[in-house]
Amino acid sequence: MFSGTHFYNQTMKKAVAVFGTLFNNIKIVKTGSTETRVPIAYGPRKKFLARIQADTVAATDKSIAIKLPRMSFEITGIAFDAATKLNRLNKRVLSIAGETAKSNVVYQSVPYTISLDLNILAKNQDDALQIFEQILPTFTPEYTVTIKDMEGPGTLTDVPIILTAVAIQDDYEGDFQTRRTLIYTLSFDMKVKFTGATTEGKIIRTVDTFFYTNIGNVTAKVNSTSISDTNIIPIDSLSGGIPTIGQAVIGAGIDNDSPSTGIFVTDVSPDGKQVTLDRNVTLSNNTVLTFNFVSASGEENVRVAVGSTDEPPLDETDTITTTFGFNHG
């Protein structure tokens, strides 16, 4: 309506069809006869009663009267269900058969309660009670059915149908030409959900996760005068934490302007007082070293893309993008 895109999910049609199907296989047994299936149709109770009376008034009327017992059902109301309402901005992502790069997206459905009346019409009490007693034990007081495609293509939605009231009407008064009609009316509430249009969305293929483990970079001082062409560096005066394997080392005497050819930490002692680098260096005592994470392009936010062949759901062989540290300028 608002977007100009037509959609029709047939929600009411499906709900009414499912409700009628629940009662379309009820049978009764009369004395001396076999089982008889009770017919059911959608329509107001008053219309059926008018037909029952009209077909027997005139003696010359050759039409066949409606056969009893039978059942009818009709919608008596529809109301918004505020108790089960969820955030309207919620989304459901639904897969598309044969499609790996796109998916269906539907926004949160809107809950409504549809009220329906089921009418049992019979001309004697035994017929009515046979039908009545086959229905009541199923509802306690609700019975849940699963309806397909109510909240988007390929969805399965559990729909409670709740028995809320029972009323009995026995029109036994009248002349001898008037047919007696027993009416048992069972009132139900059906919890349905109305969903808007389905749109296409792209599947997320790359995930970035940021861990701000340190506000600033770790710094330390070389504590030996004998650092000459070696990759094992004793350090002290740690600030900002302990160096981590994979961090780049920057300091006087270390050319780390090109991260792709820079010097990186390969091992750290448990107390953080000694680091092993990936190549030998020569440093003066008390040289200040800075340890941080950098990428080959010189960015501190290191990005590792999910593999192009990875398919959801991700498993232990997939790589999720992770960033350690943050450059606060």
- pLDDT digits over 198-213, tens only? 887 776 666 655 544 4
What value does the CA radius of gyration of the chain take, rounded to a whole number of Å? 38
Q: What is the mean pLDDT of the chain?
A: 78
Tell me if the bond preceding 259 is cis, omega within 30° of 0.
no
pLDDT per residue over 130-154, tens digit each? 999 999 999 999 999 999 888 888 8
The contacts of residue 66 (CB under 8 Å, 6+ apart) are 48, 51, 52, 55
263 and 142 in a common domain: no
Give yes or no for residue 316 having a pLDDT over 50: no
243 and 184 in a common domain: no
Rounded Cα gap, residues 58 and 54, in angstroms? 8
Give yes or no for residue 19 having a pLDDT over 90: yes
CA distances from 25 to 14, 70, 71 (A): 18, 12, 11
284 and 243 in a common domain: yes
CA angle 21, 22, 25 (to 5 degrees): 80
232 and 307 in a common domain: yes
Give yes or no for residue 156 having a pLDDT over 60: yes
- Domain stops at, among 186, 202, 218: 202
326 with 301: CB under 8 angstroms? yes
Give the number of other CB atoms < 10 A from CB of residue 208: 12
Rounded Cα gap, residues 133 and 246, in angstroms? 75
pLDDT of residue 90: 87
Question: Residue for token digits 């539907």?
Answer: 106
Residue 1 included in any domain = no
Rounded Cα gap, residues 150 and 192, in angstroms? 8
Confidence bin at 93 (pLDDT 50/70/90): confident
231 and 185 in a common domain: no
Compare 280 and 56 and report the one with higher pLDDT. Answer: 280
Residue 136 included in any domain = yes
Which conformational region is residue 38 in: left (phi greater than 0), alpha (psi within -120 to 50 degrees), or beta? beta
**Residue type (1 letter), 261:** T
CATH number for position 81: 3.30.2000.40
Residue 116 included in any domain = yes
Give yes or no for residue 186 having a pLDDT over 70: yes
- Residue 271: give the domain boundaries: 208-324
SS3 166: strand
171 and 157 in a common domain: yes
- Domain stops at, among 139, 173, 202: 202
